[in-house]
Amino acid sequence: MDRELALELVRVTEAAAIKSAHWMGRGKKNEADDAATTAMRNVFDTVSMNGTVVIGEGELDEAPMLYIGENLGTGDGPNVDIAVDPLEGTNIVAKGHNNAMTVIAAAERGALLHAPDMYMQKLVVGEKAAGRVHLDDPIEKTIEIVAEANNKRIHDLTVIIQERPRHDEIVKRVQNMGARVKLFGDGDVGASIATCLPQTGIDIFIGIGGAPEGVISAAAVKSLGGDMQARLLPQNDEERSRCMEMGLDDPEQLLTMNDLVKSDDAIFAATGVTEGELLNGVRFLGGDTAETHSIVMRSKTRTVRFIQANHHLDLKPDLREES
């Protein structure tokens, strides 16, 4: 694992972002996801590494590319685990909304949680509250702890929660405490990262979302000094058995940051597809030029780099024919 690999992973997210951005606002989420996945896979083939997808878009028979267990890279270079979501926010892109990203996490072999693509319960806080919260605590206690850690009054504290019926009760409890709630539609990687960036004003992320997004978020949160706890939520015996086959003797055990990302050297890379609080979206500037805005982090050095790049587009896809 080195800085060269970190920058190579940015090339992967950039390519996926550009291809999926062509589909922004066209109402076709599957086409946007396919474009991101294909571009990501093609660039991965040029990266000097021996990578294995440990958590991603499903099993071999469920996803044509970037499935759990797939090998990525040239086969030369470091042995790494890969957690991937080719397009974080397919519905966002389809509707032209904000905060869609292409995202990757990588760490040395055996360091990232190996689990199926399933639901995961998550709690994320920033650096000041790290080590002080617990996923099983009532949200009321968590709010009090984080408010004290962040030197905020409870009514100034902001909890970000995905807008889903499954979260209605916790939204009411946060509001009854007097804290502020910020709801979002899709894309919980960006929401998790926001807790670790003081300028966002977000203090707590809580809720149930996808496991791949949880592991990817953990790599970013670790790089920023924050804290995360999680728990897989098998929906049936088949999912529970699959977890056990992947090495989790207790599929519903509490997962700490070091369970999600065991290594102190993890990489997180993301490129914006649509405009957002963390990253600008892809901008097509004319003259076959596109501009991208990316972020890459390493937990070993806690270095955070923002990268703005201009790309020459070799092909002009005729989306009318692809539709």
Query: Which parts are annotated binding residues?
Result: 33, 57, 85, 88-90, 119, 164-166, 186-188, 210, 213
Secondary structure letter of residue 10 according to DSSP: H
Q: What string of DSSP letters covers 207-237?
A: EEEEHHHHHHHHHHHHHTT-EEEEEE---SH
Report the SS3 class of residue 283.
strand
Beta bridge partners of 207: 122
> Residue 130: in which H helix or E strand, if any?
none
Q: Regarding beta strands 119-125 and 204-210, do their DSSP bridges make them parallel or antiparallel, or are they unpaired?
A: antiparallel
State whether the Cα torsion 30-34-36-37 is positive or negative. positive
Do 293 and 283 form a contact (C-beta atoms < 8 A)? no
Pull the structure tokens for residue 22: 């062509």
Secondary structure letter of residue 155 according to DSSP: G
Residues in the chain: 323
Annotated binding site for substrate: 88-90, 119, 164-166, 186-188, 210
d(CA 55, CA 66): 9
Annotated binding site for Mn(2+): 33, 57, 85, 88, 213
Q: Regarding beta strands 79-88 and 101-108, do their DSSP bridges make them parallel or antiparallel, or are they unpaired?
A: antiparallel
Pull the structure tokens for residue 136: 């099983």
Report the SS3 class of residue 55.
strand
Cβ-based neighbour number of residue 308 at 10 Å: 10
State whether the Cα torsion 56-253-196-210 is positive or negative. positive
Do 215 and 230 form a contact (C-beta atoms < 8 A)? no
d(CA 97, CA 184): 11
